[in-house]
A = this chain, B = another copy of it.
Amino acid sequence: MKNTTIKDVAKKAEVSVTTVSRVLNNRGYISDEMKDKVMKAVDELNYTPNEIARSFFTNETKFIALIIPTTKNPYFGELTFHIEKLLAQNGYNLFICNSLNDIKNEKKYLKLLKERRVDGIIVGSHNIDISEYKNLENKIVSIEREITQEIPIIQSDNYLGGELATKELINNSCKSILCVVGDKNILTPANDRSEAYRKVVSEHGLKSNIIEIPFNYSFDKKIEIIKSILLTEKYDGVFAGDDVMAKLFINAAKDLGIEIPKKLKVIGFDGTEMIRLLNPEISTIRQPIDLLAKGAVEALINLINGREVEKQIIYPVELISSNTTRLT
Protein backbone atom coordinates (compact mmCIF):
# COMPACT_ATOMS: atom_id res chain seq x y z
CA MET A 1 0.00 0.00 0.00
CA LYS A 2 1.24 3.46 -0.89
CA ASN A 3 1.77 5.83 2.03
CA THR A 4 -0.65 8.73 2.25
CA THR A 5 1.33 11.95 1.90
CA ILE A 6 0.77 15.51 2.95
CA LYS A 7 -0.02 16.25 -0.71
CA ASP A 8 -2.97 13.84 -0.63
CA VAL A 9 -4.28 15.60 2.45
CA ALA A 10 -3.90 19.02 0.81
CA LYS A 11 -5.72 17.81 -2.29
CA LYS A 12 -8.57 16.29 -0.28
CA ALA A 13 -8.94 19.41 1.88
CA GLU A 14 -8.57 21.65 -1.15
CA VAL A 15 -5.88 23.76 0.50
CA SER A 16 -2.13 24.18 -0.03
CA VAL A 17 0.54 21.84 1.40
CA THR A 18 1.83 24.78 3.44
CA THR A 19 -1.54 25.17 5.09
CA VAL A 20 -1.69 21.48 6.02
CA SER A 21 1.83 21.73 7.41
CA ARG A 22 0.89 24.81 9.45
CA VAL A 23 -2.15 23.09 10.93
CA LEU A 24 -0.24 19.92 11.79
CA ASN A 25 2.65 21.82 13.36
CA ASN A 26 0.42 24.43 14.98
CA ARG A 27 2.42 27.22 13.35
CA GLY A 28 1.17 30.66 12.23
CA TYR A 29 -2.42 31.92 12.21
CA ILE A 30 -4.99 29.50 10.83
CA SER A 31 -8.75 29.98 11.12
CA ASP A 32 -10.76 27.35 12.98
CA GLU A 33 -12.70 26.63 9.80
CA MET A 34 -9.48 25.87 7.93
CA LYS A 35 -8.23 23.71 10.81
CA ASP A 36 -11.43 21.64 10.76
CA LYS A 37 -11.19 21.18 6.99
CA VAL A 38 -7.62 19.91 7.22
CA MET A 39 -8.20 17.65 10.22
CA LYS A 40 -11.25 16.15 8.53
CA ALA A 41 -9.08 15.22 5.53
CA VAL A 42 -6.38 13.86 7.86
CA ASP A 43 -8.97 11.64 9.57
CA GLU A 44 -10.60 10.48 6.35
CA LEU A 45 -7.30 9.51 4.79
CA ASN A 46 -5.98 8.05 8.06
CA TYR A 47 -2.88 10.15 7.46
CA THR A 48 0.15 9.66 9.74
CA PRO A 49 2.58 12.57 9.60
CA ASN A 50 6.06 11.47 8.59
CA GLU A 51 8.21 12.20 11.64
CA ILE A 52 11.35 12.08 9.55
CA ALA A 53 10.12 14.86 7.32
CA ARG A 54 8.94 16.77 10.37
CA SER A 55 12.30 16.50 12.14
CA PHE A 56 14.07 17.56 8.95
CA PHE A 57 12.25 20.88 9.13
CA THR A 58 11.97 21.40 12.88
CA ASN A 59 15.54 20.33 13.67
CA GLU A 60 14.19 18.14 16.45
CA THR A 61 14.25 14.36 16.38
CA LYS A 62 12.62 13.60 19.74
CA PHE A 63 15.26 10.93 20.18
CA ILE A 64 17.29 10.59 23.35
CA ALA A 65 20.19 8.15 23.62
CA LEU A 66 21.22 6.32 26.77
CA ILE A 67 24.80 5.06 26.98
CA ILE A 68 25.26 2.43 29.68
CA PRO A 69 27.58 -0.55 30.14
CA THR A 70 24.87 -3.24 29.78
CA THR A 71 21.15 -3.85 30.39
CA LYS A 72 22.16 -7.30 31.68
CA ASN A 73 23.14 -5.71 34.99
CA PRO A 74 20.08 -5.27 37.25
CA TYR A 75 20.98 -1.67 38.19
CA PHE A 76 21.19 -0.57 34.55
CA GLY A 77 18.16 -2.69 33.62
CA GLU A 78 16.04 -0.79 36.16
CA LEU A 79 17.57 2.57 35.31
CA THR A 80 16.78 1.99 31.62
CA PHE A 81 13.21 1.03 32.45
CA HIS A 82 12.54 4.20 34.45
CA ILE A 83 14.28 6.52 31.98
CA GLU A 84 12.40 5.09 29.02
CA LYS A 85 9.06 5.35 30.81
CA LEU A 86 9.61 9.01 31.76
CA LEU A 87 10.86 9.95 28.30
CA ALA A 88 7.87 8.29 26.63
CA GLN A 89 5.57 10.34 28.85
CA ASN A 90 7.32 13.45 27.54
CA GLY A 91 7.09 12.46 23.88
CA TYR A 92 10.66 11.22 23.47
CA ASN A 93 11.93 7.85 22.28
CA LEU A 94 14.93 6.23 23.85
CA PHE A 95 17.63 4.42 22.08
CA ILE A 96 19.99 2.20 23.90
CA CYS A 97 23.74 1.96 23.56
CA ASN A 98 25.29 -0.90 25.53
CA SER A 99 28.89 0.31 25.60
CA LEU A 100 30.22 -2.54 27.77
CA ASN A 101 32.45 0.20 29.21
CA ASP A 102 34.57 -0.16 26.08
CA ILE A 103 36.03 3.15 24.93
CA LYS A 104 36.03 2.07 21.28
CA ASN A 105 32.34 1.18 21.44
CA GLU A 106 31.56 4.43 23.16
CA LYS A 107 33.38 6.47 20.50
CA LYS A 108 31.49 4.65 17.77
CA TYR A 109 28.19 5.38 19.47
CA LEU A 110 29.03 9.05 19.94
CA LYS A 111 29.85 9.41 16.24
CA LEU A 112 26.58 7.73 15.35
CA LEU A 113 24.58 9.85 17.78
CA LYS A 114 25.99 12.93 16.13
CA GLU A 115 24.89 11.65 12.72
CA ARG A 116 21.49 10.75 14.11
CA ARG A 117 21.04 14.27 15.48
CA VAL A 118 19.61 12.98 18.76
CA ASP A 119 18.12 15.76 20.87
CA GLY A 120 20.06 14.65 23.92
CA ILE A 121 22.21 12.02 25.56
CA ILE A 122 22.15 10.47 29.04
CA VAL A 123 25.52 8.96 29.92
CA GLY A 124 25.91 6.31 32.61
CA SER A 125 28.94 4.64 31.16
CA HIS A 126 32.71 4.87 31.04
CA ASN A 127 34.13 8.37 30.79
CA ILE A 128 36.24 8.59 27.67
CA ASP A 129 38.33 11.49 26.45
CA ILE A 130 36.54 14.59 27.58
CA SER A 131 37.17 16.07 24.13
CA GLU A 132 34.76 13.67 22.45
CA TYR A 133 31.92 14.90 24.61
CA LYS A 134 32.95 18.55 24.31
CA ASN A 135 32.70 18.32 20.52
CA LEU A 136 29.13 17.11 20.63
CA GLU A 137 26.46 19.67 19.97
CA ASN A 138 23.90 17.51 21.74
CA LYS A 139 22.58 18.23 25.17
CA ILE A 140 24.09 15.83 27.67
CA VAL A 141 23.51 14.88 31.29
CA SER A 142 25.29 12.15 33.18
CA ILE A 143 24.30 9.71 35.89
CA GLU A 144 27.10 8.96 38.34
CA ARG A 145 29.86 9.95 35.89
CA GLU A 146 32.05 13.04 35.94
CA ILE A 147 32.53 14.10 32.33
CA THR A 148 33.16 17.85 32.14
CA GLN A 149 32.48 20.80 34.42
CA GLU A 150 29.63 21.83 32.14
CA ILE A 151 27.75 18.54 31.98
CA PRO A 152 25.20 18.21 34.82
CA ILE A 153 25.62 15.14 36.98
CA ILE A 154 22.79 13.29 38.69
CA GLN A 155 23.93 11.06 41.50
CA SER A 156 23.24 9.28 44.75
CA ASP A 157 24.78 10.41 48.00
CA ASN A 158 27.67 7.99 47.66
CA TYR A 159 29.60 9.43 50.57
CA LEU A 160 26.66 8.82 52.91
CA GLY A 161 26.28 5.33 51.42
CA GLY A 162 29.93 4.54 52.15
CA GLU A 163 29.55 5.78 55.72
CA LEU A 164 26.35 3.81 56.35
CA ALA A 165 27.80 0.60 54.89
CA THR A 166 31.08 0.80 56.81
CA LYS A 167 29.33 1.69 60.08
CA GLU A 168 26.90 -1.23 59.62
CA LEU A 169 29.88 -3.61 59.46
CA ILE A 170 31.66 -1.97 62.41
CA ASN A 171 28.45 -1.94 64.48
CA ASN A 172 28.27 -5.67 63.87
CA SER A 173 31.79 -6.01 65.32
CA CYS A 174 33.87 -6.30 62.12
CA LYS A 175 37.53 -5.46 62.74
CA SER A 176 39.13 -6.21 59.38
CA ILE A 177 37.06 -4.81 56.54
CA LEU A 178 37.70 -5.06 52.80
CA CYS A 179 36.32 -2.41 50.47
CA VAL A 180 35.83 -3.46 46.83
CA VAL A 181 35.81 -0.80 44.11
CA GLY A 182 35.28 -0.97 40.34
CA ASP A 183 37.72 0.58 37.87
CA LYS A 184 39.62 3.26 39.75
CA ASN A 185 40.34 5.22 36.56
CA ILE A 186 36.67 5.95 35.94
CA LEU A 187 35.81 9.35 37.34
CA THR A 188 32.65 8.66 39.25
CA PRO A 189 31.12 9.93 42.47
CA ALA A 190 31.08 6.25 43.50
CA ASN A 191 34.71 6.92 44.47
CA ASP A 192 33.22 8.84 47.41
CA ARG A 193 32.10 5.49 48.81
CA SER A 194 35.66 4.33 49.37
CA GLU A 195 36.58 7.80 50.66
CA ALA A 196 33.89 7.51 53.31
CA TYR A 197 34.98 3.94 54.07
CA ARG A 198 38.56 5.13 54.57
CA LYS A 199 37.46 7.88 56.95
CA VAL A 200 35.16 5.67 59.03
CA VAL A 201 37.63 2.78 59.48
CA SER A 202 40.39 5.24 60.40
CA GLU A 203 38.10 6.93 62.97
CA HIS A 204 37.65 3.51 64.55
CA GLY A 205 41.39 2.78 64.55
CA LEU A 206 41.03 0.12 61.85
CA LYS A 207 43.17 -0.53 58.79
CA SER A 208 41.97 0.46 55.33
CA ASN A 209 41.98 -2.31 52.66
CA ILE A 210 40.78 -1.33 49.21
CA ILE A 211 40.86 -3.67 46.23
CA GLU A 212 39.93 -2.94 42.62
CA ILE A 213 37.91 -5.53 40.68
CA PRO A 214 37.04 -3.98 37.29
CA PHE A 215 33.39 -4.14 36.19
CA ASN A 216 34.41 -5.56 32.80
CA TYR A 217 36.15 -8.67 34.11
CA SER A 218 34.30 -11.89 33.35
CA PHE A 219 32.32 -13.39 36.21
CA ASP A 220 34.70 -16.37 36.25
CA LYS A 221 37.67 -14.07 36.70
CA LYS A 222 35.88 -12.12 39.45
CA ILE A 223 35.02 -15.35 41.29
CA GLU A 224 38.64 -16.52 41.00
CA ILE A 225 39.93 -13.23 42.49
CA ILE A 226 37.36 -13.35 45.29
CA LYS A 227 38.24 -16.92 46.23
CA SER A 228 41.93 -16.14 46.30
CA ILE A 229 41.21 -13.13 48.57
CA LEU A 230 39.08 -15.19 50.95
CA LEU A 231 41.71 -17.96 51.06
CA THR A 232 44.74 -15.75 51.67
CA GLU A 233 43.41 -12.80 53.71
CA LYS A 234 41.55 -12.86 56.99
CA TYR A 235 38.72 -10.36 56.58
CA ASP A 236 35.58 -10.43 58.72
CA GLY A 237 33.71 -7.81 56.71
CA VAL A 238 33.29 -6.90 53.03
CA PHE A 239 31.84 -3.68 51.63
CA ALA A 240 31.23 -4.87 48.06
CA GLY A 241 30.97 -2.44 45.13
CA ASP A 242 27.43 -3.50 44.27
CA ASP A 243 24.94 -6.24 45.09
CA VAL A 244 26.10 -8.55 42.32
CA MET A 245 29.61 -8.36 43.78
CA ALA A 246 28.21 -8.92 47.29
CA LYS A 247 26.45 -12.07 46.07
CA LEU A 248 29.66 -13.32 44.44
CA PHE A 249 31.43 -12.94 47.81
CA ILE A 250 28.56 -14.72 49.60
CA ASN A 251 28.57 -17.61 47.10
CA ALA A 252 32.37 -17.93 47.20
CA ALA A 253 32.36 -17.93 51.01
CA LYS A 254 29.73 -20.68 50.99
CA ASP A 255 31.86 -22.74 48.57
CA LEU A 256 34.86 -22.33 50.87
CA GLY A 257 32.90 -23.20 54.02
CA ILE A 258 33.11 -19.69 55.47
CA GLU A 259 29.93 -19.03 57.44
CA ILE A 260 27.95 -15.86 56.65
CA PRO A 261 27.34 -13.73 58.69
CA LYS A 262 29.12 -15.56 61.56
CA LYS A 263 32.63 -15.53 60.10
CA LEU A 264 32.18 -12.97 57.33
CA LYS A 265 29.72 -10.09 57.01
CA VAL A 266 28.92 -8.69 53.58
CA ILE A 267 27.12 -5.55 52.45
CA GLY A 268 26.36 -4.56 48.87
CA PHE A 269 25.24 -1.38 47.09
CA ASP A 270 22.33 -0.50 44.73
CA GLY A 271 19.36 -2.34 46.25
CA THR A 272 17.55 -2.85 42.95
CA GLU A 273 14.00 -4.13 43.10
CA MET A 274 15.08 -7.41 41.48
CA ILE A 275 17.90 -8.11 43.93
CA ARG A 276 15.81 -7.22 46.97
CA LEU A 277 13.15 -9.57 45.67
CA LEU A 278 15.45 -12.44 44.73
CA ASN A 279 17.95 -12.08 47.55
CA PRO A 280 16.26 -10.28 50.44
CA GLU A 281 18.95 -11.68 52.77
CA ILE A 282 21.58 -9.30 51.37
CA SER A 283 22.32 -6.13 53.35
CA THR A 284 22.71 -3.21 51.01
CA ILE A 285 22.63 0.52 50.44
CA ARG A 286 19.56 1.27 48.36
CA GLN A 287 19.98 3.90 45.66
CA PRO A 288 16.79 5.71 44.57
CA ILE A 289 17.02 4.50 40.97
CA ASP A 290 13.61 5.94 40.08
CA LEU A 291 14.69 9.38 41.35
CA LEU A 292 18.03 9.24 39.50
CA ALA A 293 16.08 8.53 36.31
CA LYS A 294 13.61 11.33 37.02
CA GLY A 295 16.38 13.81 37.83
CA ALA A 296 18.27 12.95 34.65
CA VAL A 297 15.22 13.16 32.37
CA GLU A 298 14.07 16.47 33.87
CA ALA A 299 17.55 18.00 33.63
CA LEU A 300 17.91 16.89 30.02
CA ILE A 301 14.52 18.22 28.95
CA ASN A 302 15.33 21.53 30.66
CA LEU A 303 18.65 21.69 28.78
CA ILE A 304 16.91 20.95 25.48
CA ASN A 305 14.44 23.74 26.16
CA GLY A 306 17.22 26.17 26.97
CA ARG A 307 16.48 26.38 30.68
CA GLU A 308 19.02 26.62 33.51
CA VAL A 309 20.01 23.30 35.09
CA GLU A 310 21.85 22.67 38.35
CA LYS A 311 25.31 21.22 37.78
CA GLN A 312 24.95 18.57 40.46
CA ILE A 313 21.86 16.90 41.88
CA ILE A 314 22.33 14.46 44.77
CA TYR A 315 19.68 12.04 46.01
CA PRO A 316 19.70 10.32 49.41
CA VAL A 317 20.44 6.62 49.94
CA GLU A 318 19.13 4.23 52.57
CA LEU A 319 20.69 1.39 54.59
CA ILE A 320 18.86 -1.92 54.32
CA SER A 321 20.24 -4.01 57.14
CA SER A 322 19.56 -7.70 56.58
CA ASN A 323 20.92 -11.20 57.25
CA THR A 324 24.36 -10.90 55.63
CA THR A 325 25.56 -8.37 58.19
CA ARG A 326 23.52 -9.23 61.28
CA LEU A 327 23.69 -12.23 63.58
CA THR A 328 20.02 -12.93 64.20
Which residues of A are in contact with B by a Cβ distance under 8 Å?
Answer: 1, 3, 48-53, 55-56, 61, 63, 70-74, 77-78, 80-81, 84-85, 88, 93-98, 108-109, 111-112, 114-117, 137, 219, 244, 247-248, 251, 273-275, 277-280
Contacting residues, chain B, for A74 (C-beta < 8 A)? 72, 74, 77, 274
Alpha-carbon gap, A61 to B93, bound state (A) = 14
B63 and A72 contacting across the interface, CB-CB below 8 Å: no
Alpha-carbon gap, A98 to B83, bound state (A) = 10
Alpha-carbon gap, A234 to B275, bound state (A) = 29
A95 and B94 contacting across the interface, CB-CB below 8 Å: yes
**Nearest neighbor of A46 in chain B, beta-carbon distance:** B135
Alpha-carbon gap, A190 to B88, bound state (A) = 29
Q: Which of A71, A85, A114 has the largest number of chain B CB atoms within 10 A?
A: A71
The dominant DSSP class at the A interface is: helix
A71 and B81 contacting across the interface, CB-CB below 8 Å: yes
Alpha-carbon gap, A81 to B69, bound state (A) = 10
A93 and B93 contacting across the interface, CB-CB below 8 Å: no
**Nearest neighbor of A275 in chain B, beta-carbon distance:** B278
Looking at the complex, which one of B3, B52, B88, B280 makes contact with A251 (CB distance below 8 Å)?
A: B280
B244 and A277 contacting across the interface, CB-CB below 8 Å: yes
A56-B53, A117-B50, A247-B277 known; A98+B85 contact, CB < 8 A: yes
Contacting residues, chain B, for A112 (C-beta < 8 A)? 93
